[in-house]
Amino acid sequence: MYDNNVRLMGFIGKDAVTRKTTNGKEFVVLSLATSVSWKDENGQYTDKTKRTDWHRCVAWSNLSKFAGTLKKGAHVEVEGELRYRQVSDSKQKDVKHTLAEIHLSKILKLDRAEKRESEGAPPELEDESKERPSAA
């Protein structure tokens, strides 16, 4: 049995871009940033001890409707299949580039604080801000 499954957690680098194929099928392209950092020999984090990788993610069908609403800075977890395709260079026709894309099957938005602020604080948090009567 073989499995081609990728799961990434990161931040959207720019607003989602909706496109159409030549036969009119709609899809959305996301640019996802993941990063890793480590300590140098002195035990410090520096700009030289951090790496950011960018991933091209593609959503089709019903998933593209949700993906199209994602904005720059959104924290998401995505899952999908890694695929490669070759494209010709627009300036040099004899040059081909290989693109790696993740064709998404799941998207989970992780921005909980943003959701809480837009909906207002939950009732139990609002009640704590009020003065409670003493138990005496």
Domain boundaries defined on the chain: 6-128
- pLDDT beyond 80 at 61: yes
- Residue 46's pLDDT is what? 80
- Residue 125's pLDDT is what? 36
Burial class (CB in 10 A: 0-12, 13-18, 19+), 80: buried
Max mean pLDDT among 46-50, 57-61, 86-90, 119-123 falls in 57-61
Q: What mean pLDDT, rounded, does the chain reach?
A: 83
Q: What is the mean pLDDT of residues 81-95?
A: 88
Phi, psi dihedral angles at 119 (to 5 degrees)? -95, -10
- Pick one of 2.60.120.10, 2.40.50.140, 3.40.50.300, 2.40.10.340 as the CATH number of 6-128: 2.40.50.140
- pLDDT beyond 80 at 11: yes
Enumerate the H helices of the chain as residue ranges: 61-67, 112-119, 123-128
What's the distance, CA 104 to chain centroid? 11
Structure-token match 């799941």, residue found: 106
Phi, psi dihedral angles at 2 (to 5 degrees)? -120, 150
pLDDT band at 122 (very low <50, low <70, confident <90, very high): very low
Coil, strand or helix: which one is 93?
Answer: coil
Q: Are 79 and 105 in contact (CB under 8 A)?
A: yes
Q: Is the pTM of this model over 0.85?
A: no
